[in-house]
Structure 1
Amino acid sequence: MLRNAKFPLTLSFKNVYFFQSGIGILANSSLLVFHIITKHQIHRPKPTEIITCHLAFVHIVMLIITLDILSEDMFKSLNFPNELKCKLLFYLGRVTRGLSISTTCLLSIIQAITISPSSFYSSRFKYKLTRHVAIALSCIWLLTLSSNSFLVIYTVAHSNRTNLLSVSKYCSLFSMNSVIMALFFTLTLSQNVFCVGMMLLSSMYMVIFLCSHQRKSEYLHSMSISPRISPAKRATRTVLVLVSLFVIMYCVDITISSFSTVLWKYDPVVLDIQSLVGNVYASVSPLVFISSDKRIIGILQNMIDIITILTS
């Protein structure tokens, strides 16, 4: 009876999740295509634009991978064995989530350096940011791929064994040795704490910068000089919104994940809730980027005007 009662709830979660993933994939794809097209018009793209493209790509892959039913159909058509399918999907899912937090951290740091005054110590890196960003992204990929590589060993398809932890619809993890689990937990936690800590520090600096800039704007306004919101200030606000959203969703996700891991038992409903919470940032972040970019808003407005003219 309880199982039958959970089925409609699980189905409703799946419908919401499909809608969320569809919006996220469409928004991230639009953001990525826009930056790829405009890249040919700009000889030197901004470091933040490179990171934005990377973040959009990571989120597209993340949303596709965590789309359980779609992923299952895709790998069935390729005739992948269940064991390989579990290892590949779970490993890539963990990698993309690690890339998401690391890339967001890098974005907040780069934006803090970008707005820093010329007299500030970090300003010497401004003119070499593009090269540094490429190196940083390469290091992030290498670290994330290597730190999650051991999961390939412990990930298996569902079976009748009792020492397994269900982590997805058809995937489980072996019960790990206490030393290995402590090592994995420490490595993952230290990486995440470092990234979140750097986000908060850079966000504090950007908030201080915005407050200082706001006081100057009020002074200019009192002198009858019309203040204008600079692109750097608009980009800084966007990054602050993204960091705030990520930290909130990360805290909720880590709470659910830690509670389930301690109990060594995952409920299907808990899995669906965790999937929804874990992908809120990946689905909403491109909408934040799009809403704060006047170029994209102008293109959308022109498209709406053309459609209106054609349909009238």
Structure 2
Amino acid sequence: SSRDVAIGMMFLSQTTVGILGNFSLLYHYLFLDHTVCRLRCTDLIFKHLAIANCLILLYNGVPQTIVAFGLKYFINDFECNLLLYVQIVGRGVSIGNTCLLSVFQTIMISPVNSCLKDLKVKAPKYIGFSISLCWILHMVVNFIFLICFLYLSSKWIPPNILKTRDLGYLLLEVLFSVLIIWASGSMIFILYRHKQQVQYIHRTHASPGSSPESRATKSILVLASTFVSSYTLSSMFHTSILWLANISKLISLCFPTVSPFLLMSCDSNVSRLFFVWTR
């Protein structure tokens, strides 16, 4: 039907744009690895976030596009569960890295007299460990769920087991969302205070454009609001009635699709502000 074709075109467009954007972001930082002697800690987070988003789009967006267009693809139960496993791992790592990015940026731009001052030196040393831990935890926990589900697939699965699993995923996403909102709010507050302190400098060296703090604040707001609205609406529609399933799937792919473009724009603004503060 025309409705199925329209949904298929939306899935196809969203998946194509998202994959191209994330591969561009990943290529950008891989290129920097060979041309820049020293990279920032956030660059490592960006690379792993792009990889996780690619997994979501490839193993969720592509199958949904095939189904929406009414095309048939033949996969057995094991391959179906493997697709679901990769989707969940990619989604979990994407949310975890976004949360890690927000918290790390909050720590690094916090004032020297704040309660986070002791973490400013320690935080960069644990970025690689935190990213690895995020991957390992999601892979191991979801692998255990996959093995248990395959073992129970030939038997009757109590509905409360599936509800408990979905509730666990939801609570984890809510926790990460709360941390992202807190970190984003803290960054905006810090940037606002910094803008007030250097307001005399801005007036003395007036420029036609907005201040670095304003640009960084807008970037943080756009990234945080995109993440929270995407995953919140997706979770709400997922628990709603069946005909909203396609809307839920489309919304769940919004953040992996849009985030690389937001990160590339946010990165230039925030890194420029960090450079000014370092000097």
Q: What TM-score bracket applies, with the shorter chain setting the length?
A: 0.7 to 0.9
Instruction: Note if 1:28 corresponds to 2:16.
Output: no
**1:99-248 alignment to 2 at 5 Å?**
99-149=93-143, 150-154=145-149, 176-222=157-203, 224-226=204-206, 229-230=211-212, 237-248=218-229
Instruction: Note if 1:251 corresponds to 2:228.
Output: no
Structure 1 counterpart of 2:248, one-letter code = Q
Identity %: 28
Contact 2:202/2:211 (<8 A) preserved: no
Larger Rg, first or second structure (1 or 2) = 1
Instruction: Note if 1:97 corresponds to 2:105.
Output: no
Instruction: Note if 1:37 corresponds to 2:27.
Output: no
Going from structure 1 to structure 2, the CA distance change for 1:116 and 1:50 (only over 3 Å counts) comes to: same
Deviations 1:43-82 (A, max 9, x none): 332121111111111111211111116789xxxxxx9951
Residue segments in structure 1 that go unaligned for 5+ positions in a row = 1-6, 73-78, 157-171, 261-265, 296-312
Residue 68 of structure 1, aligned match among 56, 63, 67: 63
Going from structure 1 to structure 2, the CA distance change for 1:191 and 1:294 (only over 3 Å counts) comes to: closer
1:12 partner SS: helix
1:117 partner SS: coil
Residue segments in structure 2 that go unaligned for 5+ positions in a row = 68-72, 270-279
CA distance in 1, matches of 2:132, 2:220: 22
Instruction: Note if 1:16 corresponds to 2:1.
Output: no
- The TM-score normalised by the length of structure 1 is 0.73
User: 2:256 matched to which residue of 1?
Assistant: 282
Going from structure 1 to structure 2, the CA distance change for 1:17 and 1:114 (only over 3 Å counts) comes to: same
Q: How many residues align?
A: 259
User: 1:84 matched to which residue of 2?
Assistant: 78
CA distance in 2, matches of 1:122, 1:41: 33
Contact 2:89/2:142 (<8 A) preserved: yes
Deviates more, 1:63-72 or 1:285-294: 63-72
Structure 2 counterpart of 1:132, one-letter code = Y
Q: CA RMSD in A?
A: 3.0
- The TM-score normalised by the length of structure 2 is 0.81
CA distance in 1, matches of 2:250, 2:180: 23
User: 1:161 matched to which residue of 2?
Assistant: none
1:40 partner SS: helix
Displacement of 1:282: 0.8
Structure 1 counterpart of 2:262, one-letter code = V
Going from structure 1 to structure 2, the CA distance change for 1:13 and 1:152 (only over 3 Å counts) comes to: farther
CA distance in 1, matches of 2:188, 2:260: 22
Displacement of 1:216: 2.6
Displacement of 1:107: 0.8
CA distance in 1, matches of 2:142, 2:18: 25
Displacement of 1:181: 3.3
